[in-house]
Amino acid sequence: MGLSATKATAVGVVRRLRAAGYEALLAGGCVRDMLMGHRASDYDVATSATPRQVKQIFGHVLMIGAKFGVAMVIINRRTIEVTTFRSDLSYSDGRRPDGVKFVTPKRDAQRRDFTINGMFYDPISRRVIDYVGGKKDLQAGVIRAIGDPERRFAEDYLRMLRAVRFAGRFGFRIERATARAIKRRAGRITKISGERIREELEKMFARKPALATLKQLHKLQLIKAILPELFADTNHWSKASRRAGAVSERGDALLTIASLLCDLPASDIRRIVRRWGGSNEMRKSLLWMSEHLDDWRTAHEMSLAQFKRILAHRDFRRLEMLWRFEERFADGGKSRSLAIRRRIKAIDPKQIDPQPLLTGADLKEIGLKEGAILGRVLRKLYDAQLNEQITNRRDALRMARSLITDR
């Protein structure tokens, strides 16, 4: 859809809307971030203009969310969301309003999720417009639902996860009534699509450390609703949460998710990834880390070929972090981890995943026909190469002829 809008782009949109006779303000998270002295990742504009009127003013406008009062304005390949001041009607699906009506900025602020996200900013007069007490909660470090928290969460259950994410991101506390409402409605989170849940978890775990966030998810009973598999066995959550806490300092969402799931059966991991709408790459990574979780016990003494194959995998650095935790958890030590690290340093990086000395075409030239035997000979040759038993093409051809003769 293009690049995120800069502040200059957003202010330009505000100016053009004002020049056309409409009210227009910066809204939401960008106002919060500016007040906190953070660089905003994107900018949203709220206006009294309807999407149709916005389209008349700007040349390139996507009307994807027009029925909800949203128009996507594209300027110099940058996309900015322009939303009409609105009040949402009922929410039948706990996600989107059944309809909207266009209202004043004050009414618009009252339909937003949390007070710290409900402020406006007038970039022309450089004035914060706060109808919901957002500045006060920002200064106090509080996440508070606007109005009735039960109603806010019933409108979109994902807001329960967003509350935890914001609390973890900013080091804020969740206001008591808001926290109580989340705990009461935690089981409803499953009404949200798995994709949205996964995306929210990835945002949480991409920031470090995630330990406080994990504790909050557990305290508010959200993690039990999202990942019931971790509570089928009384020991799963205890160890998984400690492991996740240990690795979360990396700010690596996939690693933190792996740390939670890696003790589960492969069938559970597949089901969770499918439920979350995760990619094939995510599924393969999580299954691979789970499969090799206990290899820390033998990695220092396994064959060089076996070790190099693990070392060459794209997720090895993540696996090594899990190995370190597993050893500490098992016996409080780190001798195996140190031995593994020494072994890695002793290997020439160029020899970890080298190009094969021989290909299938080479084997055919010396008389081997295509079939299962060809694949087996290639695997044996590559094992020998990884084990550094053969180091050049001549030795590889000699070994290949010997394997073909012996079969």
94: left (phi over 0), alpha (psi -120 to 50) or beta: left
How many domains are there within the chain?
4
What mean pLDDT is predicted for residues 211-233?
Answer: 93
Q: Per residue in 57-74, pLDDT tens?
A: 998 999 988 888 899 999
pLDDT at 140: 97
Q: Per residue in 250-289, pLDDT tens?
A: 889 999 999 999 999 999 999 999 999 999 999 999 999 9
Residues 189 and 261 in one domain: yes
Catalytic residues: 42, 44, 113
The pLDDT confidence band at residue 96, using thresholds 50, 70 and 90, is low
Residues 296 and 400 in one domain: no
Residues 118 and 98 in one domain: yes
What mean pLDDT is predicted for residues 36-54?
Answer: 92
- Given a cut of 70, whether residue 406 has pLDDT beyond it is no
Tell me the range of 83-92, 139-148, 232-241 where mean pLDDT is highest. Answer: 139-148
Residues 101 and 131 in one domain: yes
Residues 124 and 178 in one domain: no
The pLDDT confidence band at residue 91, using thresholds 50, 70 and 90, is very low
Q: Per residue in 5-30, pLDDT tens?
A: 789 999 999 999 999 999 999 999 99
Question: Counting every residue, how long is the chain?
Answer: 407
pLDDT at 3: 65
CA dist., res. 38 & res. 127, Å (int): 17
Residues 387 and 364 in one domain: yes
Q: Among residues 243, 264, 290, which one ends one of the domains?
A: 290
3-state secondary structure of 122: strand
pLDDT at 160: 97
Residues 118 and 150 in one domain: no
- Given a cut of 60, whether residue 81 has pLDDT beyond it is yes
The overall longest dimension of the chain from CA atoms, in Å, is: 88
Domain that holds residue 376: 360-406
Tokens linked to 319: 């696996």
pLDDT at 52: 93
What mean pLDDT is predicted for residues 308-328?
Answer: 96
Residues 173 and 267 in one domain: yes
The rounded Cα 292 to chain-centroid distance in angstroms is: 23
CA dist., res. 228 & res. 214, Å (int): 15
Q: Which of 103-112, 154-163, 227-236, 397-406 has the lowest mean pLDDT?
A: 397-406
The pLDDT confidence band at residue 93, using thresholds 50, 70 and 90, is very low
pLDDT at 95: 52
pLDDT at 373: 83
Q: Among residues 270, 290, 310, which one ends one of the domains?
A: 290
Prior bond of 123 cis (ω within 30°): no
